[in-house]
Amino acid sequence: MNIIFIALIVFAGMGLSFEAGLLGPLGEQVGHLWATLSIFGVGTALLWMIRHFTPQGKFSAWNTIPKWQLIGGLLGPIYVVTLTLSTPILGVAMTMVCVLLGQITKSFAIDYFGWFGMTKQATNPLRMLGVVFIFLALCFVYLGGQ
């Protein structure tokens, strides 16, 4: 069963690269903030339609949700604007390797310390070697583009 989730996440990651490739030119044509707004507008419309045509899920009153859980709503647009600005300059590959290194290093900290209610995950030398390889990938992609 884990292999199915791994495959789905790999395909989702491919979608992020596709999105970055679209956002760069879109930002150049309509402006970076408008490109971000269009991405979130289309996403909101899609999610509204899915929500409208599927069985109602669990929904808590907004005032019962811990406020720190809503920070993701701020981080998403910052991420998309950053993609829109940097992808035309760095290219999709370099941008995604940078994103990957940032995601992995923060993910290790979240797992290790058990932040945000996550179960603590041990770090070992083999996992750390994976982070080193991702850093080396960033260096190789950067140097290969020079």
Task: Give residue 66's pLDDT.
Answer: 80
Give residue-wise pLDDT tens across range 82-135: 888 999 999 999 999 999 999 999 999 999 999 988 999 999 999 999 999 999
Give residue-wise pLDDT tens across range 1-53: 688 888 888 888 888 888 888 888 888 899 988 988 988 899 899 988 888 88
CB 17 within 8 A of CB 92: yes
Task: Give residue 127's pLDDT.
Answer: 92
**At a CB cut-off of 8 Å and minimum separation 6, what does 55 contact?**
none
Cα distance between residue 86 and residue 24, in whole Å: 8
Q: Measured in whole angstroms, how far is the alpha carbon of residue 4 from the centre of its chain?
A: 19
Cα distance between residue 14 and residue 9, in whole Å: 9
Q: What percent of the chain has pLDDT over 90?
A: 38
Q: Measured in whole angstroms, how far is the alpha carbon of residue 67 from the centre of its chain?
A: 21
